[in-house]
Amino acid sequence: METRERRSAIMRAVKGRDTAPELAVRAMLRTFAPFYRLHRRDVPGNPDIAYVGRKLAIFVHGCFWHGHDCARGARMPKANADYWRAKIARNVARDAAHREKLAALGWRALTIWECELKDAAATEKKLRAFLG
């Protein structure tokens, strides 16, 4: 069983930017749509990738952390389950609020889920369609 300090250290190590899924999406985009900006704090939701002039935002979400309905996102830890349910529900609500703010400002947003990256061709097709 892990101590509270050890669990805290593990959670501090979880990256919020430059994750493997985000780097994979950026590598795809460099081939056909470079000149994006990263983690713009002046855009609601601080999107992972933004095309500011075109008002396009791309979020790369981890399935677990953002409550995706795939196998990985539906998996709930057995320890401290109430905490995790509440945390993920807050993340989902925050994501929805950010999308609403973006839409109100005339931005279009796309979410790429971590599980979607297993099919790189389909993900690239989705990105190309979004960037049009």
Where along the chain do its domains lie? 16-131
Q: Averaged over 27-34, what is the pLDDT?
A: 96
Question: What is the spatial distance between Cα 26 and Cα 33, in angstroms, rounded to a whole number?
Answer: 9
Burial class (CB in 10 A: 0-12, 13-18, 19+), 25: buried
Q: What are phi and psi of 114, to 5 degrees?
A: -50, -40
pTM above 0.85, yes or no: yes
pLDDT digits (tens, 9 = 90+) for 81-91: 899 999 999 99
The CATH code belonging to domain 16-131 is: 3.40.960.10
pLDDT digits (tens, 9 = 90+) for 3-18: 788 877 877 777 778 8
Going by pLDDT thresholds of 50, 70 and 90, the confidence category of residue 111 is: very high
pLDDT digits (tens, 9 = 90+) for 49-60: 999 999 999 999
